[in-house]
C-alpha cells in the first residue's frame, strides 16, 4: 500500500478528533486485553509454550536457507510451482502473470497482510482484474475504499451503522434494512458466495510454511480462505520467506499461541494445510497451485540486530495493548503494519528516513513486550531505532539538542539536582493555591488534555538525603 508514515503526527492529531472511533477503540482495547488474559490464564503451560515456540523460531531463522530450500523441494514434489520475489514490484508482477496466463478476470482473495504490504490489489485492478476481498472485515474496507486499521481485525474502526450505510450505498438492497449484525453478515455472505463461485483465481496468505512436507498453514474463523483455496481453478498462496517452520507440529504449536493472543479463543475455527493441485480422482480443488514468496528486506533483517522481529506471528496483541495504538488507531501509522510491530517493521521494510516518526510512537510502557507471544523485546527494538534516528540526525534539531542536554545533565548529578530542586520549588510555590496548572511552557501535549499537578516542595533526592541523614543520626 501507499506509505505515508512521514505524516504520522498529523495523521494522529486528525484521528484524535474522531471521538466516536476513539471511544470504540477504548472499548475494544479493554475487551481485547480481558479476553486474552482469560484465555492465557486457563492454559497453565502458556509461558513454557512461548519459550518452546521461540526456540523453534530461532532455530528456523538460524537455518533459514536450509529450511526454505527443503520447503521448496517438498512443495514442488507436491505439484506446486514456487516463485521468489525480491520486492513488491516483482511480487505483484508474478501474481499478475499467473492470472493473465489463465485469462482470469475475477480474483477471490483471502486475508493476506503481505499483499497489503505490496499493494497487490491496486496493481491487479489497474491491469483490469476484478479483485474481491472475501474476509468480511477486508471486504468492508475494500467497499469503503479504505485500508486496514488492524492486522487482525481490519475494519475495527467502523461502526455497525457505518457498515449498514455502506451496504445501502453499494448493494441493491430493495426494502431490506439489515438491522441486526447477523443481517449484515448474511448480506456480505450472499454477495461473496457468487464471487467465489465465479472466480478463476483464488489468492490466500499463509500463517506458516512447513519444511518437512511442503504444506502451508492457514488459520481463519470465517472459512473464506478455504473457499478461495478450493473453489477457483488456480490457487496462489502469498507469503514471505521467513514463515518457514521445520515441522507440521511446530506450526500447530504456534497456532496455540496465535488464537489465544489474537482473539482470546483457545483455537480458531479452521486450521487448514494446503499443497498442490487436485489429485487423481478428486472432483474439486484447483488444477494449478503456486507459492509466491516475498523477501522485501527480510533477508537483510535476518543478518541485522533486528532479526527477532521476524519471529512475529501477527497476532495483534501488541496493538491491542499499546496506549498509542489504542489512542490514534491503525491508519495514523500510514503503513500496512501498525502498532508496536508496525513501528519496528515499517522502518525496516522501507527506510528510517521515511518512517522515523513511528519508533517515537512509544511511551516505553512495556506492555507490548509483556503480551507478545513471540517474546519479542519490542521496546528495545524501538529504542534502538530511535538511537539510529538520532545518529542519522533525522529527528527535529530541538529534540536532538533537548536529548543532548538531558544526557549531559544526567551525567552531572549535582547540577541536575540543583536545577530540578530549584524548578520544583518554583512550581510548588506558583501552583500551591490551585493545586495544578492548566498551562505551562513546553508541556502543551500534557496540558491540552489535563492539568499538570503542582509538585510537592522537595525532590526525591532531597527527601532521600534527609532520610539518610536522620538514619545516621539515630
Footprint of ligand SF4 on residues 250-279 (CB under 6 A)? 261
Contacts 24+ apart (CB under 8 A), 457-465: 457/424, 457/425, 457/428, 458/421, 458/424, 459/417, 459/420, 459/421, 459/424, 461/417, 461/420, 461/421, 462/417, 462/421
Nearest approach, Cβ of residue 150 and ligand SF4 (Å): 10
Nearer to other proteins by C-beta: 197 or 468?
Answer: 197
Nearest approach, Cβ of residue 465 and other proteins (Å): 50
Q: Mark the segment that binds other proteins (CB under 8 A) among 243-251, 315-323, 325-333, 368-376.
A: 243-251
Cα torsion 126, 128, 129, 132 to 10°: value is 60
Q: Which does residue 28 touch among other proteins, ligand SF4, none (CB within 5 to 8 A, set by kind)? A: other proteins
User: Does residue 160 touch other proteins according to CB under 8 A?
Assistant: yes
Residues 114, 129: Cα–Cα separation, whole Å:
19
Task: Choose among 23, 22, 33, 28: nearest CA to 328.
Answer: 22
Q: Scanning residues 77 to 106, which ones bind other proteins (CB under 8 A)?
A: 78, 83-86, 90, 93-94
Q: Which does residue 416 touch among ligand SF4, other proteins, none (CB within 5 to 8 A, set by kind)? A: none
CA dist list (Å): 105 to 198, 235, 272, 288, 406? 10, 14, 26, 16, 60
Q: Scanning residues 118 to 137, which ones bind other proteins (CB under 8 A)?
A: 134-137
Q: Mark the segment that binds ligand SF4 (CB under 6 A) among 67-75, 82-90, 366-374, 396-404.
A: 366-374
Looking at 266, 402, 436, 453, which residue binds other proteins (CB under 8 A)? 266
Find the distance separating the first CA and the last CA of the chain, reported in whole Å: 69
User: Does residue 279 touch other proteins according to CB under 8 A?
Assistant: yes
Nearer to other proteins by C-beta: 224 or 346?
Answer: 224
Task: Choose among 312, 339, 345: nearest CA to 326.
Answer: 339
Residues 366, 378: Cα–Cα separation, whole Å:
8
Q: Which does residue 385 touch among other proteins, ligand SF4, none (CB within 5 to 8 A, set by kind)? A: none
Q: Scanning residues 39 to 78, which ones bind other proteins (CB under 8 A)?
A: 42-45, 48-49, 52-53, 55-56, 59, 62-66, 68-69, 78
User: Does residue 114 touch other proteins according to CB under 8 A?
Assistant: no
User: Does residue 373 touch ligand SF4 according to CB under 6 A?
Assistant: yes
Cell 482484474 -> residue: 129
Residues 442, 452: Cα–Cα separation, whole Å:
12
User: Does residue 208 touch ligand SF4 according to CB under 6 A?
Assistant: no
Q: Strand (E) positions, 267-379?
A: 270-274, 288-294
Residues 5, 105: Cα–Cα separation, whole Å:
33
Q: Scanning residues 318 to 337, which ones bind ligand SF4 (CB under 6 A)?
A: 318
Other beta carbons within 10 Å of 225: 28
Q: Interface with ligand SF4 by CB under 6 A: which residues? A: 261, 312-318, 341, 371-374, 376, 378
Amino acid at each position: 500500500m501507499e506509505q505515508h508514515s512521514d505524516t504520522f503526527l498529523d495523521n494522529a492529531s486528525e484521528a484524535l478528533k474522531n471521538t466516536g472511533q476513539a471511544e470504540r477503540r477504548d472499548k475494544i482495547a479493554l475487551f481485547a486485553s480481558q479476553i486474552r488474559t482469560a484465555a492465557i490464564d486457563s492454559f497453565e503451560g502458556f509461558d513454557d509454550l512461548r519459550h518452546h515456540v521461540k526456540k523453534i523460531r530461532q532455530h528456523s531463522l538460524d537455518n533459514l536457507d536450509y529450511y526454505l530450500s527443503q520447503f521448496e523441494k517438498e512443495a514442488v514434489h507436491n505439484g506446486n510451482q514456487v516463485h521468489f520475489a525480491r520486492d513488491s514490484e516483482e511480487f505483484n508482477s508474478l501474481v499478475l502473470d499467473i492470472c493473465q496466463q489463465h485469462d482470469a478476470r475475477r480474483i477471490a482473495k483471502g486475508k493476506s497482510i503481505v499483499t497489503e504490504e505490496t499493494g497487490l490489489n491496486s496493481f491487479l485492478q489497474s491491469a483490469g482484474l476484478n479483485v474481491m476481498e472475501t474476509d468480511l472485515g477486508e471486504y468492508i474496507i475494500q467497499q469503503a475504499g479504505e485500508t486496514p486499521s488492524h492486522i487482525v481485525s481490519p475494519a475495527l474502526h467502523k461502526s455497525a451503522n457505518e457498515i449498514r450505510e455502506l451496504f445501502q450505498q453499494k448493494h441493491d438492497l430493495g426494502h431490506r434494512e439489515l438491522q441486526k449484525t447477523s443481517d449484515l453478515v448474511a448480506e456480505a455472505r450472499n454477495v461473496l458466495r457468487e464471487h467465489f463461485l465465479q472466480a478463476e483465481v483464488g489468492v490466500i496468505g499463509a500463517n506458516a510454511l512447513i519444511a518437512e512436507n511442503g504444506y502451508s498453514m492457514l488459520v481463519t474463523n470465517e472459512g473464506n480462505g478455504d473457499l478461495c483455496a478450493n473453489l477457483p481453478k488456480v490457487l496462489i498462496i502469498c507469503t514471505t520467506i521467513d514463515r518457514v517452520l521445520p515441522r507440521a507440529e511446530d506450526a500447530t504449536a504456534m497456532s496455540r499461541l496465535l488464537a489465544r493472543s489474537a482473539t482470546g479463543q483457545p483455537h480458531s475455527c479452521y486450521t487448514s494445510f494446503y499443497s498442490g493441485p487436485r489429485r487423481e480422482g478428486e472432483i474439486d480443488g484447483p488444477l494449478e497451485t503456486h507459492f509466491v514468496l516475498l523477501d522485501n528486506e527480510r533477508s537483510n533483517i535476518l543478518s541485522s540486530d533486528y532479526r527477532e522481529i521476524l519471529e512475529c506471528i501477527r497476532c495483534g496483541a501488541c496493538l491491542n495493548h499499546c496506549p498509542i495504538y489504542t489512542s490514534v488507531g491503525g491508519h495514523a501509522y500510514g503503513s500496512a503494519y501498525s502498532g508496536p510491530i508496525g513501528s519496528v517493521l515499517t522502518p525496516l521494510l522501507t527506510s528510517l528516513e521515511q518512517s522515523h516518526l513511528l519508533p517515537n510512537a512509544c511511551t516505553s510502557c512495556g506492555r507490548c513486550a509483556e503480551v507478545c507471544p513471540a517474546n519479542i523485546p519490542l521496546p528495545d527494538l524501538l529504542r534502538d531505532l530511535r538511537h539510529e534516528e538520532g545518529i542519522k540526525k533525522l529527528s527535529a534539531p530541538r529534540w536532538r539538542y533537548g536529548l543532548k542536554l538531558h544526557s549531559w545533565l544526567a551525567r552531572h548529578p549535582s547540577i541536575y539536582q540543583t536545577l530540578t530542586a530549584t524548578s520544583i520549588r518554583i512550581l510548588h510555590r506558583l501552583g500551591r493555591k490551585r493545586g495544578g496548572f492548566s498551562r505551562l511552557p513546553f508541556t502543551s501535549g500534557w496540558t491540552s488534555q489535563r492539568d499538570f499537578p503542582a509538585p510537592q516542595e522537595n525532590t526525591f533526592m532531597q527527601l532521600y538525603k534527609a532520610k539518610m541523614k536522620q538514619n545516621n543520626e539515630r
